[in-house]
Amino acid sequence: MADHSQPLGIYTLKPWHAAKKWQQEQSPIPFEVVLGEYLKDGYVWSSPGEFVLGRTAFWDGEDMIFEGNNHNCWVVQLAAGLNPMKRFLKVAPMKLEFVSWQRDGSQRWHVWEWNKFKKKVYNNGKH
């Protein structure tokens, strides 16, 4: 089996550990607290190759709304590993209209229509 962990000197980080390291460096909220929230009210994918924390929300074109249940968007909180977004598109419990994330603590939402993002990730839709 191929090892898809990320190199760190002579050691390697598994995707979940890379996500934990990033969380520790970027936020005062402990990784274990965030993971617990997503285990309770979100979606967690962890494999030897990828790690993803996601949850659903409603994207109204300007704001991300987490309350209610008329959700049309996946919000990816943490993703690490070998192309974790490609894996997420395969394993997400359901397809929604949009996929989104924020980068490095930025308040700006990166929002893509699911099908357009899939084409981008899969090199114009080809596997």
Task: Assess if residue 4 is contained within a domain.
Answer: no
Residue 20's domain comprises 11-121
pTM of the model: 0.83
Task: Assess if residue 84 is contained within a domain.
Answer: yes
- Distance, in Å, from the CA atom of 46 to the CA atom of 29, rounded to the nearest integer, reads 20
Residue 126, pLDDT score: 54
The count of structural domains within the chain is: 1
**How confident is the model over 72-82, as a mean pLDDT?**
95
Q: Which is nearest to 59 in space by CA: 72, 76, 77, 75?
A: 72
Task: Assess if residue 2 is contained within a domain.
Answer: no
Residue 13, pLDDT score: 86
Task: Assess if residue 127 is contained within a domain.
Answer: no
Element (H, E) at 18: helix 15-26
Contact 98, 111 (CB under 8 A): yes
Comparing 1-15, 45-59, 81-95, the range with the smallest average pLDDT is: 1-15
Task: Assess if residue 126 is contained within a domain.
Answer: no
Residue 107, pLDDT score: 85
Residue 122, pLDDT score: 86
**How confident is the model over 44-53, as a mean pLDDT?**
96
**In this predicted model, what pLDDT tens digit does every residue of 12-31 receive, in sequence order?**
789 999 999 999 998 999 99
**How confident is the model over 99-105, as a mean pLDDT?**
88
Contact 98, 87 (CB under 8 A): no
Task: Assess if residue 69 is contained within a domain.
Answer: yes
- Distance, in Å, from the CA atom of 5 to the CA atom of 15, rounded to the nearest integer, reads 6
In residues, how long is the chain? 127
